[in-house]
Amino acid sequence: MLRWIIFLIVYAIIDFYAFQSFKTVAKNNWILALYWILSLLVIGNFLFHYYNFNRSDGFTVQQAFAFGFLIAFLVPKMLLLIIMFAEDIFRVPQAIYRYFTEGSSASGNYFPARRQFISKVALGLAAIPFASIIYGIYKGKYNFKVLKYTLTFNDLPDAFDGYKITQISDIHSGSFDDIEKVSYAIDLINEQASDVILFTGDMVNNKASELIPYKDIFSKLDAKDGKFSVLGNHDYGDYVTWESEEAKHQNLEELKTIQKDIGFDLLLNESRFLEKNGQRLALVGVENWGTGGFKKAGDLKKATQHIDAHDFKILMSHDPSHWEQQVIADPYHYHLTLSGHTHGMQFGIEIPGWFKWSPVKWRYKYWAGIYQEMGQYINVNRGFGYLAFPGRVGIWPEITVIELKKGAELA
């Protein structure tokens, strides 16, 4: 209870300062009243959904929107707070000076009036994150991008020169609210006409039932060499309360069955061979393995018991921290690892090929795109869906297409 009292006090302080900018610029009382009405509706809606949160059901779409709207209003207000407070750094000393030099003879309030120019600039700057977040909630989360890479290996089997892989990750089907947009993305994946489709975990938020409305849509995914998948940390149902361990286990088994019905070959610390013209690639899939309190069910040794050390290997592992902590230094040498998990935090600034930044980089060294270490590559997919915050700002949902080429490896 204490933390919520502190939260509301902090929120009230932020609101008070943000209101100063509106009060300076807007003289219409109806506009000022509308500010408080919207502010109270947003915080009230958030508190209502928070106190009605049922851990057995998990995070609902309605709760996600309540959280999203809170973020959409809170972030711009925090910017206004910073600017208004910075103005007060100058206003307060002036007020103190007037108090001691003019005393009771001072006319009006000791504080100098707020400057309209500063308030207008503050509101203009605050409009940028507000518009960006609102766009991210309504459009950005379905702003699918196809990112294409060509990776060159000197030991790639000749038959696989030009081989195309489509990777998707982090579907989080329980978060979707527009089935037509999801269907469009599936068509976009099929348009890539890749040889194989690889899914790197988190098919659902918590429960297998989330996937049922999208089962027919994902069944349309097509690649001539098949579709393969692994589990992510959310697929195990660890983030909701179950009536029994048996119910939790049954949920996981149901998810495995649905993935099979869709056409995915789910690799549970297993391997498969992709064969072409008498040559082969080893496809290795491990269960989730992650640092920072995440499940460590992945077992590389078990997954590669039928793989030769000299095989060309593609590893599917949901969490990129696995690559950093165990895979890079493994003597088996995994040529290409495909991961997801980070979502790029669904927020950041990115100019493809030039610049990318997200706060998630402080948590994960490898958080989005292609990285190379010790002659091995990893691609961290930014995710197909979204979780908790119902949108994406600057870091868009991703469909990755990787073409393998035979030749001298790039430095």
Mean pLDDT of the 261-285 span: 97
Mean pLDDT of the 312-338 span: 97
Query: What pLDDT does residue 315 have?
Result: 98
Query: What pLDDT does residue 411 have?
Result: 46
Residue 107 predicted with pLDDT over 70: no
Across 2-11, 145-154, 345-354, least confident range: 2-11
Query: What pLDDT does residue 409 have?
Result: 59
Mean pLDDT of the 345-372 span: 94
All domains of the chain in start order, with CATH: 2-138 (no CATH), 144-406 (3.60.21.10)
Among 244, 132, 148, which residue's Cα sits nearest to residue 191? 148
Residue 274 predicted with pLDDT over 60: yes
Query: What pLDDT does residue 108 have?
Result: 59
pTM score, whole prediction: 0.92
Higher pLDDT, 190 or 112: 190
Mean pLDDT of the 265-288 span: 97
Average pLDDT value over all residues in the chain? 93
Mean pLDDT of the 183-206 span: 98
Residue 23 predicted with pLDDT over 90: no
Q: Give the confidence band of 70 by pLDDT, cuts at 50, 70, 90.
A: very high
Query: What pLDDT does residue 79 have?
Result: 94
Residue 160 predicted with pLDDT over 90: yes
Mean pLDDT of the 312-332 span: 97
Mean pLDDT of the 241-270 span: 97
Q: Give the confidence band of 113 by pLDDT, cuts at 50, 70, 90.
A: low
Mean pLDDT of the 201-223 span: 97
What is the amino acid identity at position 265? D
If you search the block for the tokens 């980089």, which residue do you land on? Answer: 361
Distances (CA, A) of 48 to 38, 41, 75, 352, 401: 15, 10, 20, 40, 42
Residue 110 predicted with pLDDT over 60: no
